[in-house]
Amino acid sequence: MKHIKTINGKTLNRDIKKAGCGECQTSCQSACKTSCTVANQKCEKE
């Protein structure tokens, strides 16, 4: 596109049937105990 650039590949509304396995690391907005917020976690399936 000429006027718009989409900067992420995957989106949340794909593969929602596969969501929710629960294996991902516990997150916390504060790093006082863990190493990630929800925003920067990795999916364990990927």
* Residues found near other proteins in the complex (CB under 8 A): 1-13, 15-16, 18-44, 46
Q: How far apart are CA 14 and CA 33, in angstroms?
A: 31
Q: How far apart are CA 45 and CA 26, in angstroms?
A: 15
In the complex, least distance from residue 37 CB atom to other proteins, rounded to whole angstroms: 7
In the complex, least distance from residue 8 CB atom to other proteins, rounded to whole angstroms: 4
Question: What's the sign of the alpha-carbon dihedral 45, 36, 25, 39?
Answer: negative
In the complex, least distance from residue 6 CB atom to other proteins, rounded to whole angstroms: 5
